Amino acid sequence: MSFDRSIKIAPSILAADFANFGAECAAIEAQGADWVHVDVMDGHFVPNITFGPAMCAAIRPHIKTVMDVHLMIAPVDPYIDAFAEAGADIITAHVEAGPHIHRTLQAIRGAGAKAGVALNPGTPAAAVEDLMDMVDLICVMTVNPGFGGQKFIDMTAKIRALRAMIGDRPIHIEIDGGVDPTTAPLVAAAGADVLVAGSAVFRGGSVSDPAPYGANMRAIRDAI
Ligand SMILES: O=C(CO)[C@@H](O)[C@H](O)COP(=O)(O)O
């Protein structure tokens, strides 16, 4: 997986048809998705339950691009190898999920995946200041994690602070929550390069009528 700072759209399959994940992943990729974002929730770190490594392994053959796995679980460490073996290219853990994020990031890279760290809206940029040489991606949550379709929380000051902290390092800034054609230009201007979008991409489409997925992603790109 090579690094580039161009804008990438990573549809969150949390907004896809749960009975059709493989076909949904193939459809969003065919319609122009750059990455596929997979939201793993445990009903403990966040108040919702989605899916685990077996589902990631099942959809992997349907994804040619980057599989970006966002772990909203605690603890994280016992599950890292399983998600890496399931084919995750990027594994992101929350800085709030435990006391040893440094060890977690080492373990993610040790398992052969790119390492991401996520920050809830209430967590300052300074929480990742000492992790700059350990991470490939910083995910800035613009909603409190757990559900799709929530209202965007403005984190542009945090994104700017992270962009300055990152400097020339090859680290992606990913934005997750409430991204649509109105909010995407704000976060892109602040320095984000990966935009996770669930409802704004899947709205109006289906595997039998996937064209709206493409139109929705073009609307986000055109707005930036
Ligand atoms: O991780 C999360 C929510 O916890 C996100 O990935 C959402 O799934 C994004 O959904 P929208 O806000 O774009 O509908």
- Kindly report the backbone phi and psi dihedral angles of residue 171, in degrees, each rounded to the nearest multiple of 5, phi listed first: -125, 125
Pick the residue whose CA is nearest to atom 4 on ligand 1.
145
**Which domain does 141 fall in, by range?**
8-223
Round to whole Å and give the CA distance between 8 and 175: 11
**What pTM, to 2 d.p., does this model score?**
0.97
* pLDDT per residue as tens digits for the range 84-143: 999 999 999 999 999 999 999 999 999 999 999 999 999 999 999 999 999 999 999 999
What's the CATH number where 168 sits?
A: 3.20.20.70
* pLDDT per residue as tens digits for the range 134-193: 999 999 999 999 999 999 999 999 999 999 999 999 999 999 999 999 999 999 999 999
- Do residues 183 and 156 touch, judged by C-beta distance below 8 A? no
- Domain annotation covers residue 2: no
- Domain annotation covers residue 42: yes
Round to whole Å and give the CA distance between 139 and 22: 25
Give me the DSSP letters along 11-48. EBGGGS-TT-HHHHHHHHHHTT-SEEEEEEEBSSSSS-
Across 19-33, average pLDDT: 98
Ligand 1 mean position, distance from CA 146 (Å):
8
91 Cβ inside 6 Å of ligand 1: no
**Do you find a cis peptide bond into 121, omega within 30 degrees of 0?**
no
Give every CB contact of residue 189 below 8 A, 6+ residues apart in sequence: 156
Ligand 1 mean position, distance from CA 177 (Å):
4
- Domain annotation covers residue 35: yes
